Amino acid sequence: MKVYNKKEDIRKAIAEFKSDGLSLGLVPTMGALHEGHLDLIKKACRENDKVAVSIFVNPTQFNNVDDLEKYPRTIEADLSVLSDLKTDAVLVYAPEVDDIYEGQTISELFDFDGLEYEMEGKFRPGHFDGVGTVVKRLFNIIEPDKAYFGEKDFQQLAIIKKLVKKQNIPVTVIGCPIFREPNGLAMSSRNLRLSPEHKKAAPFIYDILKKAKAQFGTISVENIKDWVVQQFAEEALLQLEYFVIADAETLKPTKQIEPKKAYRAFIAVYADEIRLIDNIALN
C-alpha cells in the first residue's frame, strides 16, 4: 500500500499503471474507516486491478462548523487498517485541503434535477453542492473506471449518479448495500462519537425502519409516518428529525403508493448532538 498526499504524485503513479492497461477503482471516504468502508474496498479490489482510497474530510459539505471540527480524524488507524489488507493493489490519497481546493475552499453550484432539495438537502443546505464539488474533483484527479459508494447515503449515491450523467464523466458508479453492526445499527464514522448509552439506544432506528417496512402496503403512508413519530416520542435518547417515504427514483416524498414503483423509507435522527441517517427498501 502506498500513501500519496499530493495529486501530482498519485496521478503520476496512476498514469504508469494505466499505460500498462490496468483498471482502477475509487473508494472515496472521509476516513474513520469501518467495516462498511472495508466492504467497499474489498469489492473494489475484486473488480479492479488497482484501487485508490481517498481519505479527505471535505470542509465544503459541512453546513455546521461544529460537526466539521468534531468529525473523527483517525488517519494513523485508517492507514493501519488498510495495510492489514496486505495488498499492493491499494493506493491511498490523503490530501490537505489546499491540494483539492487550491486556496478557494468553496463549492461549485449544481443542478441535480431536484434530487438535492429533498430530505438531507432540506436539513443540510449546501451539503450536496459540497459533495458534488469534491467528488467531481476526485474523479478528475483519479480518473477511475469505477467508483464505489454505500447505500447508507442513498440520496448522495443518487446525486453522484446524476452528476456523472449530466456532466458526462466516464466512470461507472456502483452502489453497495448498507453494512450494519450485528445489532442493526448502520455503520457510520459518526458512530465513534456516540456515548455508550446512545450507542445502546441507536439500533432502535433500524428496528423502526423494519417495522415501518412490515406495515408498508397494509396501512396508509400517513399512518406509518404517524406511527414512527409516536415511537420516537417515547424514546427519550433519540430525536427524530425526519421520516420520509419516497419514490426510490425521484426521491420525492409520496402519499399514495403506485403499483410497479419502488419506494424507500429514509430517516434522520439525533442521538444527543450526533446526527444519524439510515434508509430501507420498502418493496
Tell me which of 14, 41, 44, 135 binds ligand PAF, using CB under 6 A. 135
Nearer to ligand PAF, 121 or 225 (CB): 121
Alpha-carbon torsion (215, 271, 130, 53), positive or negative: negative
Task: Give 264-268's long-range contacts (Cβ < 8 A, gap of 24+).
Answer: 264/154, 265/209, 265/212, 265/213, 265/216, 265/224, 266/119, 266/154, 266/155, 266/242, 267/205, 267/208, 267/209, 267/228, 267/240, 267/242, 267/243, 268/119, 268/120, 268/123, 268/240, 268/241, 268/242
Nearer to ligand PAF, 30 or 44 (CB): 30
21 secondary structure, DSSP code: T
Nearer to ligand PAF, 161 or 213 (CB): 161
Residue 133 within binding range of ligand PAF, rule CB under 6 A: no
**Angle between helix 127-142 and 154-166 (nearest 10):** 60
Q: Which of 101, 153, 96 is nearest to 130 (CA)?
A: 101
Residue 263 host element (H or E): strand 263-271
Please work out the total of residues on this chain that contact ligand PAF, with binding judged by CB under 6 A.
Answer: 10
Write the interaction track for ligand PAF spanning residues 238-277; mark x where CB under 6 A is met and - where it is not: ----------------------------------------
Residue 39 within binding range of ligand PAF, rule CB under 6 A: no
Is residue 34 among the annotated active site residues? no
User: Whole-number minimum distance, CB 63 to ligand PAF, in Å?
Assistant: 13
Give the separation between CA 233 and CA 43, rounded to whole angstroms. Answer: 39
Residue 155 within binding range of ligand PAF, rule CB under 6 A: no
C-alpha cell at 201: 439506544
User: Whole-number minimum distance, CB 9 to ligand PAF, in Å?
Assistant: 20
Q: Are 97 and 68 in contact (CB under 8 A)?
A: no
Nearer to ligand PAF, 153 or 278 (CB): 153
Catalytic-labelled residue, pool 34, 37, 127, 198: 37
Residues 57-116 that bind ligand PAF (CB under 6 A): 58, 61
Q: Which of 95, 105, 67, 83 is nearest to 33 (CA)?
A: 83
Residue 188 within binding range of ligand PAF, rule CB under 6 A: no
Residue 30 within binding range of ligand PAF, rule CB under 6 A: yes
CA 23 to chain centre: 23
Nearer to ligand PAF, 143 or 235 (CB): 143
User: Whole-number minimum distance, CB 116 to ligand PAF, in Å?
Assistant: 14
Residue 153 within binding range of ligand PAF, rule CB under 6 A: yes
Nearer to ligand PAF, 100 or 265 (CB): 100
Binding site for ligand PAF (CB under 6 A): 28-30, 58, 61, 131, 134-135, 153, 156
Catalytic residues: 37
